Amino acid sequence: MGAGESSNNEEFTGPVPIRIQNANPLLFTLPQEHMNIQPYWIMIVQLIVKDIILQRIWNRMRYGTWSTTQEIAAGHYILRKKLAEIREVLQLNRQFQHRLRGRQRQDPRFVRMKSFQDALVTPGSFIGPRFWTTNSLREHQAFKENILIQELEIARRDLNLLYGKLKFDLFDLLIHSLPLFAHTIWYFYIQSSCIGAEKANEWNCYNAFGYRLYNYIFVPYCAFFWLVVTKLYVYFRVRQYVEKVHKESLRKRIEYHIGLWPSLLTIIVVGLPLVPYLFTNVIPMAAAYVFMIIIYIVLWVAALAFCAIVSFIPIIGPFLLGTVKVLPKEDRPIASIVLMFPFTLLTLPILISVFFNYSQYLYYGNDYYGTMKDEFDSRNTTIYFKILQASINEKFHTSLNFV
């Protein structure tokens, strides 16, 4: 039996008899409404609801796109890459015109096609005689430069639009920062009474606190962490190039900072108490159960190969990458990575939280395979919903994860 199991309803919300001797006793002697952990499928549903469904709905209402923030960021990367390529071709075109003027002074009538090909990025784009008149080349290059300038302006405009969709906003504050921050502070408050529980000592309380954090805080924290990193990266990369950064209204700047600073505060305050457990619990368990990492990597590579195949479907790239209408062949791997991101987001943090949970059994004398069984049993769906039905606190814990 697992940490949340009990024989009758009145025992569900409070301490329960110690069912497993080779486990952290506080998994049982602390109130179960604060120690009961979610079944795996509920953790996945929470991430799908908050980080995939709600985010798409918000982006559709606010920015007119069904893409998630990560998908928009991938589209932004492709546009920024395209912008750099256009600038490079435009620069080479102007260098060639400069060489052309020098050649015109030597021979005003003709320029060999070979020298033109050496100077231009797309040498196969011209079909004609081996020799061009200087005037015809100058006219062609002027025409080509006008086209490049128009493409440059379109890319800049699209980049401006995508930047606006990658800014911090009220969604980050209301759906991510506040629930995650409040939930963590609540667990700090609950932890203050740990030492008074049966079988409590500093080591057991330290592990019990980590048990709560890694089962209710860590998984949504990882999703939020990568969201913040993505938005910060895009902002500091784009601010050098996008004129819109310096022309925003006061209202938009205020909204940006309302979303930015609470997000950074949440990342720091919530992240700091998670760090020590990586070294004391997670990494040792990951080393002990390394076969699970190998299995995960194999499944991840297989899923990536599948996504790479799917990315060749013409509609997939533009659908995933927002405003990118045509996905260049060389950028199709980006679409496969975007497809893989939700899979990684939904599975890797859960695997890490499982490793932490193993330490609550293996560190207390449980055997290798018994630890895996007891951790799995602690996520009993029936027991979870009975505690959820009986406890207002459990309802709040679950609601804060679903918000």
3-state secondary structure string, 363-397? CCCCCHHHHHHHHHHCCCHHHHHHHHHHCHHHHHH
When pLDDT is cut at 50, 70 and 90, the band that residue 124 belongs to is very low
Q: Tell which wins on pLDDT, 60 or 115.
A: 60
The share of the chain scoring above pLDDT 90, in percent, equals: 29
What long-range pairs does 200-205 form, CB within 8 A, spacing at least 24? 200/26, 200/29, 204/24, 204/25, 204/26, 205/26
User: Cα-atom radius of gyration of the chain, to the nearest Å?
Assistant: 29
Positive or negative torsion for Cα 272, 277, 280, 284: negative
CA distances from 173 to 216, 284, 346 (A): 19, 35, 22
The share of the chain scoring above pLDDT 70, in percent, equals: 74
243: pLDDT strictly greater than 70? no
CB 160 within 8 A of CB 249: no
* pLDDT of 4: 43
> What's the pTM value of the predicted model, to 2 decimals?
0.78
Q: Tell how far CA 294 is from the center of its chain.
A: 22
* pLDDT of 120: 44
Tens of pLDDT, residues 58-91: 878 877 777 777 777 777 777 777 777 777 877 7
Phi, psi of 25, deg, nearest 5 = -60, -25
* pLDDT of 179: 92
* pLDDT of 261: 93
252: pLDDT strictly greater than 90? no
Q: Tell which wins on pLDDT, 245 or 62.
A: 62
**In the chain, where are the structural domains located?**
84-155, 167-276
Q: Tell which wins on pLDDT, 371 or 57.
A: 371
Q: What's the CA gap between 45 and 19, in Å, rounded?
A: 29
Q: What's the CA gap between 220 and 222, in Å, rounded?
A: 5
Tens of pLDDT, residues 298-309: 998 888 888 777
Q: Helix (H, G, I), strand (E, B), or coil: what is residue 189?
A: helix
Q: Which of 306, 326, 323 is nearest to 315 (CA)?
A: 326
Q: Which of 157-171, 232-246, 382-396 has the highest mean pLDDT?
A: 382-396
What average pLDDT does range 219-238 have in this prediction?
Answer: 84
Q: What per-residue string of b and e applies to 99-138 under the rule 16 or more CB within 10 Å gives b?
A: ebeebbeeeeebbebeebeebbeeeeeeeeeeebebeebb
Q: Supply 191's token pair.
A: 């932890």
* pLDDT of 357: 96
373: pLDDT strictly greater than 50? yes
Largest Cα–Cα separation, the chain:
100
When pLDDT is cut at 50, 70 and 90, the band that residue 106 belongs to is low
When pLDDT is cut at 50, 70 and 90, the band that residue 403 belongs to is low
Helices (H) and strands (E) in the chain, counts: 19, 2
